Structure 1
């Protein structure tokens, strides 16, 4: 899956947009554009996806699936469905070749009601005795290479709980300044179980296991909890009668009145704000021939580059809208301080960034349901 979308390296585009801005397809984070999205929806991770593939497209794989559904997730240890590459229940997906980069990934074929895993170059039914079961001892990860040992990190102690975060300084040519970023995901609050309603100072930990929160992966938050808004804002749009809360677009006096550079504190400590879209672009600025996520990722994840910028992006996974944890070591999701209204579903959805092992994208369509649990990165105010 590493190279299914090429990152255009020639330009980083910014188009100012208001609360209603988003795009209708997954965009590389370095190509931010905007359009009205009130008429276009995104259903998130489909629990039972169907396909419009032609019958002779049997060679389709999870790469193609991800290409066609920006908010679907499929990967190692994931039970989420992807768009079905089989056009007829009369034709089995079993034995279809898969690519080397898809080894260990899974897809669910709804017509067959069978989940397949890519193993030794072929898609094999998960029920097959030839599928090697993952040892429970692999649940936890060696975090010794989370950060780049050759770089000099700063430190910030959150006065609310004395948690110490590593920080990294990166230049932003729009702000024309060097900004200080958390080099790890926020981990603030008391753990509650996934699916329970979050309130002030609560968090989810992957698999309801505090090990993930305390060992580099950080916490997962609903959109409203991340924004420090009332929980009703997970179902209502900012500025509505139900959720009168709004982000202050004028607070950033350097790049005012744009959602790209809105400074919204949310659940971040005093003096810090939730990383916005413009700052995600700044984080990958000057990355040369490598794609965004490879350039930002901790060596734990991609093993291709040794975390050259020190940003230490980790695939912390998510709690999806069905209340299931998935995508650890496969994808990273981070909330952005924006939302939009999807007329087709009648839902308010949150904007987000999504990183795979090969690239980095902003949220697509109308974003993702706000009750999902995603990560948060904080940036020092300027």
Structure 2
């Protein structure tokens, strides 16, 4: 009986040990299954979420931002594009941050967000560059527009309002000029243009006016808008409407009384005697200042409106004197000891004197202003 009892106890112990071992195997198997499932889940989630994020960022966002940048060029609204891009980047960032929390892969999220931010920056840069370019283009367009000079501006207002000035139309080029009659002392009078002549084809200052078949002119600094405001500049033979060779030799035999030169029909070139009448006009007590335009250091009480049209030097450059000095030729020349000289005068803003015509040492190759007087 004791043996049976001992054997029974032994079987009970064996069975207990067997069941304990079975329990350990089940636990190990369960742990292995859970680990495998978690790993598989993370791997699948990581690939799907990351792939989805990259695709959205590289196609959806990039395409959207590209469209935004393109529309900003047309609409010139870079500020809105920048705001929109930032907004999309933020949304994209939020999406990826959420995805990475689920998948546990934060590095993938940061990479995507960084990529999206670069795209956003690129979009803003593109938009800003296009906007600046358009703005620059519009400035260039507006600055290229030239408003014709108001030739009534420098004329004495009360003389203009009292109908002292009249207008003449030059049929050769359709240009009109203000002119008036100035009464000098002792009954002398002269009807003279109140503007410098402006006619002819412009040639650069570094060239002579050599084409005898047409009228040529210089414009100060080779700028035609200067011709519009101040008139053309002419070499002596050009002004006289004589061959270019007359600039280097005497052509005294070709000079006529009331020489027309390049003035319109019915008009002739200004002479020194004409200027004397102008300077001695009734009411003029200022000498040359009375003949100069108010913007040229004068009073213009005569109405002649002499302007600082500058000078083209015989060497081809323009003297730095626009608005400060003016020069003109007279239709004459003189021989002194067999040497030829040309008549002319000049005056400046700061000097109330007239130089010439007694100063004969002028070359005929300078570019000077021309005034015309109505022939009687």
User: What residue is the counterpart of 2:372 in the other structure?
Assistant: 378
Q: Deviations over 1:175-203 (max 9, x none)?
A: x4532100010001111111322133110
Instruction: Report the TM-score when normalising by structure 2.
Output: 0.54
Aligned to 2:201: 190
| Residue of 188, 199, 205 corresponding to 2:219 | 205
SS of corresponding position for 1:319? coil
Unaligned stretches of 5+ in structure 1?
1-139, 240-244, 250-262
Q: Hey, what does 1:149 align to over in structure 2?
A: 157
Change (3 A) 1:359 1:227: same
Q: Which has the higher contact order (CA 8 A, sep 6+)?
A: 1
8 Å contact from structure 1 (residues 341, 366) kept in 2: no
User: Which residue does 1:337 correspond to in 2?
Assistant: 331
Change (3 A) 1:342 1:325: farther
Match of 1:321 among 311, 314, 318: 314
Matched, 1:360 2:354: yes
Give the aligned partner of residue 349 of structure 1.
341
The answer as to whether partners of 2:238 and 2:244 remain within 8 angstroms in 1 is: yes
If you compute each CA radius of gyration, which structure gives the higher value, 1 or 2?
2
The answer to whether the 8 A contact 2:236-2:365 is kept is yes
Any idea what SS the aligned residue of 1:369 has?
coil
- Listed one character per residue, the Cα deviations across residues 54-113 of structure 1 (whole Å, up to 9, x for unaligned) are xxxxxxxxxxxxxxxxxxxxxxxxxxxxxxxxxxxxxxxxxxxxxxxxxxxxxxxxxxxx
- Distance in 2 between the 1:353 and 1:232 partners? 22
CA contact (8 A) 1:341 1:349 kept: yes
- After the TM superposition, which parts of structure 1 deviate over 6 Å for at least 4 consecutive aligned residues? 140-144
CA distance in 2, matches of 1:225, 1:144: 27
Name the counterpart of 2:170: 158
Contact 1:333-1:352 within 8 A present in 2 as well = yes
1:282 aligned counterpart, secondary structure: helix
- The farther-off stretch of 224-233 and 321-330 is 321-330
Contact residue 348 and residue 370 of structure 1 kept, 8 A: no
- Are residues 1:310 and 2:310 paired? no
Supply the distance in 2 between the matched residues of 1:367 and 1:274 (Cα, whole angstroms): 21
**Which runs of 5 or more structure 2 residues have no equivalent in the other structure?**
1-146
Residues 99-143 of structure 1: CA distance to partner in whole angstroms, max 9, x if unpaired?
xxxxxxxxxxxxxxxxxxxxxxxxxxxxxxxxxxxxxxxxx9997
2:310 is paired with a residue whose SS is strand
RMSD value over aligned CA atoms?
A: 2.4
Q: 1:181 is matched with which residue: 192, 196, 212?
A: 192
Which structure shows the bigger proportion of residues in helix conformation? 2
Which of 242, 264, 267 aligns to 1:229? It is 242
Considering fraction of residues, name the structure with more strand. Answer: 1
**SS at 1:293 equivalent:** helix
After superposition, residues 21-100 of structure 1 pair within 5 angstroms as none
